[in-house]
Amino acid sequence: MSTENRGIQHLKILKNRVKILKNIENPVCQFTDCFRGFEEVDAVKRIFRNEASRVLAELKTEFTYATIYMRVDNSDGHLMINPDYFLEAGITELYLDIIHELVHVKQFLEGKISDEDVNYTERPLEIEAYKITVDEARALGIAEEGIIDYLDSDLINSEELKQLAENVGVEYTSDSL
């Protein structure tokens, strides 16, 4: 299957699972106002167990330029999304980022705090979030090369990408990029 066809397949799978509403009028809303069906996603059920519906219904979401992409606010655990990123990101990337950040929401609710003194690609909370995200990417049928593309970010360099891939169990070769 070609890369383009795999991309179309991912979109079909995602559209059957979730709905991401991009016509957001308010900069602050509930997660379920703009992201529908996530409580039924197996990865989200694994993250929150039987609390998925409640947590997502209570999760505040803020569209703000105070973040580059997406993150969880350290003060109260709400989801922060850059509006430009939200509008421009592809559905697969956005979906995987949401899964990743929902792991951080769970970590926040459990009182876990990331150690900012540790390199990003070695932080246990990041590794946990990326492992769940990588599992979900594989469940969508995304090949290792596509997962490397997802992990690649302008926030990390090529050595850090290689280290992150290794830490989350993704095969990284010199041909990966």
Contact yes or no for 134/168 (Cβ under 8 A):
yes
pLDDT band of 94, cuts 50, 70, 90:
very high
Q: Which amino acid is present at 105?
A: V
**Can you read off the two tokens belonging to residue 97?**
């980022």
Query: pLDDT per residue over 31-86, tens digit each?
Result: 999 999 999 999 999 999 999 999 999 999 999 999 999 999 999 999 999 999 99
Phi, psi of 30 (to 5 degrees): -85, 150
List beta partners, residue 74. Answer: none
Whole-angstrom distance, CA of residue 121 vs CA of residue 148: 14
Please report, for the chain, the start and end positions of each structural domain, with discontinuous segments joined by +: 3-167
| Dihedral sign of CA atoms 6, 171, 49, 30 in order | negative
Query: pLDDT per residue over 111-169, tens digit each?
Result: 999 888 999 999 999 999 999 999 999 998 899 999 999 999 998 999 999 999 999 99
How many C-beta neighbours within 10 Å does residue 134 have?
A: 22
Sorted by sequence, the CB contacts under 8 Å of residue 35 that are 6+ apart come out as 18, 19, 20, 21, 56, 61, 98
**Model confidence at 11: pLDDT above 70:** no
**Of 68, 62, 101, 60, nearest in space to 84 by CA:** 68
